[in-house]
Structure 1
């Protein structure tokens, strides 16, 4: 099959949705299919490149385009990408059009009839109802767009689709999966390089949080928890690793202020500079404990990655993450927005490293069964093949 992805961000941009799109695309290529991606062109990136056999086409959507004297800025912002898409995607070059967010679904809905191909949508917005007109927009996307199928990456995303008016007969579950070979115990050199990048000394316990700097990720709760953790483990260091892509500079400043107010500048470190995509293996391997104190998640790929790397995980029992915690015995669940409970769970793992490692091994075995990228790819292919067969029969 010839499959086109529409996604606003794609590696080397890092994040759960980007990892999912790349893992799916490269998995489809390994199964013998052709995958092309239309995405944003960032400074320093090329208009075209290949990643693991995936053809990536990048176009610019920056303000310079909007300010051209021959365009109306509103129209260019909303419809400008259609011109790029039409130049790249022709009806004979696509069998399936796949999108990964609400704006992608809207663009795909405008394109599908001209391309004469099925439209499959996957949503990665965790709390779209919190955006301006978010609930109405989400009901429009799920309840009225002419897509052929929704593929949900978790039970939480499936529930979001049904709650906002999606036709149950067109909603399918294919849980997000990872290539577990990319994770696991790093070698000594990888761990040394990671600890240097993280800014921690040999022997210092590392509490790691990986996630974009946005309020729902719970970084501020970890800062508050560290005030308690350091009383029992004075050498412990928390490192918050994340990007500002689809995030909040204002929230990052709040986190920085919290660290300063608590006098924790030596114990809580921030790392916002980019790591090469796929290089988190050594970072996870360097961690003593990984935490995911989110207020909400669609699933929580960072948590899955940490478990696959064999690290003890503490995560909040919220939608999405609960699915991971329940599937992987040996992980530790805490209530959301509770720094005291988070601190106690971290300390318990640091107090008894042998028990922590035993739990991590049990969880690692489970995550490799429950969240395998091959199962995700197979789930998408079943949907694609069913839609192609229905189109051929018509």
Structure 2
């Protein structure tokens, strides 16, 4: 198949979603598919380059050029409505790449919708968050509690608190319009967890969808050379948190829970500092920023166990998969996509979100009961196979085939359409 992946960001801009798209492209190419990626232009990167066997095409959009609209110049997000410049760029890209299928990630899909309406290639959209119904994408009302569902009178004030009135109105109304069209035009949605499918209204609706988690590469547990930054880790075991150090990720809850522990080993935090990152940390808590992914994998191997105490409904936390692939248990919150990944009492422990006392009890139980910890570790390593590329990419390929099968039955015989080109 000729597959075009659309992602608003791609390395060197890196995050969980970008790493997923890169890993997916590489895995599909290894299986013999012709894979290209359409992504936003990044300063210092060429318009066209190869990332292994994957051709990367960098595009410019109208909204992307308006720097004053973006809080982070490194991450100029795609709008949730068709961007005129991006639409034209995608039209040219599709004409050149001639994909059999387009697989979009995040709001960049909105700029492809007009092309799909005009008979473009079948469109698959992976929902890595709640952006189909939530202008803030996190399904947290006013950033404080789980939303009970979209309503315009509620969504506009919530978005305004985050974006400001003008951007909030454009984002919310544009997202509602694109979502309405997408539910009728997208050939298949892929929700990365049952929580995403449920909260975006796919469950029980008529829109075709599959629940397929993110994945980690098959060789994710194979460690490379050690980075010098690893010398900063404690010699003995430690508790590990990896992610943005923000309230939504439960960083405040974690620090309160850690203060309750008896005979606590060091707590290591690796991730980005953001606007609401605490400015001070308790003794025995060490904070590291901007570590390379290879170093983080070494840190997982050296840790006692991981903790991910998010108060918001994480869609599908890749860090949990990386911990499992390293043979580590995780204490996580029973919210969002966490229960899809963590089997309570088997591969980790689940606790209520926002409850430092419950989190402390779960962490203390793993510190005190090493037999339980060893059981969770062995089960994690045994079950992570279902979250590796070999298992998950096969399911994504089947989605492509299912989508293409009815599309093929609608076209005329090839002899009537052939243009005489070798690939025809």
Answer yes or no: same fold by TM over 0.5.
yes
1:204-283 residue pairs with structure 2 within 5 A? 205-229=237-261, 231-233=262-264, 236-243=265-272, 249-252=274-277, 255-257=278-280, 259=281, 264=282, 266-275=283-292, 277=293, 279-283=295-299
Counterpart in the other structure of 2:86 = 81
Counterpart in the other structure of 1:325 = 342
Counterpart in the other structure of 1:71 = none
- Cα shift at 1:80: 2.4
What's the TM-score once normalised by structure 1's chain length? Answer: 0.81
Unaligned runs of 5+ residues in structure 1 are 68-73
Counterpart in the other structure of 2:181 = 144
- Please give the alpha-carbon distance, in whole angstroms, between the structure 1 residues aligned to 2:360 and 2:218: 29
SS of match in other structure, 2:201 = helix
- Please give the alpha-carbon distance, in whole angstroms, between the structure 2 residues aligned to 1:350 and 1:358: 13
- Cα shift at 1:44: 4.1
Structure 1 pair 20–150 and aligned structure 2 pair: CA distance change class (3 A): same
Structure 1 pair 378–161 and aligned structure 2 pair: CA distance change class (3 A): farther
1:5/1:37 contact within 8 Å kept: yes
Counterpart in the other structure of 2:230 = 195
- Cα shift at 1:113: 4.1
Structure 1 pair 135–298 and aligned structure 2 pair: CA distance change class (3 A): farther
Higher relative contact order (CA 8 A, sep 6+): 1
Unaligned runs of 5+ residues in structure 2 are 68-78, 137-158, 160-167, 411-424
1:336-375 residue pairs with structure 2 within 5 A? 336-368=353-385, 370-375=386-391
2:135/2:175 contact within 8 Å kept: no
- Root mean square deviation of aligned Cα: 3.1
- Cα shift at 1:207: 1.5
- Please give the alpha-carbon distance, in whole angstroms, between the structure 1 residues aligned to 2:47 and 2:270: 28
2:126/2:191 contact within 8 Å kept: yes
SS of match in other structure, 1:117 = coil
1:35-184 residue pairs with structure 2 within 5 A? 35-59=35-59, 65-66=65-66, 78-90=83-95, 93-101=98-106, 103-114=107-118, 116-126=120-130, 129=134, 131=136, 132=159, 140-145=177-182, 146-163=185-202, 167-168=206-207, 170-183=208-221
- Cα shift at 1:227: 1.6
- Please give the alpha-carbon distance, in whole angstroms, between the structure 1 residues aligned to 2:247 and 2:316: 17
Count of residue pairs the alignment pairs up: 363
- Cα shift at 1:280: 3.1
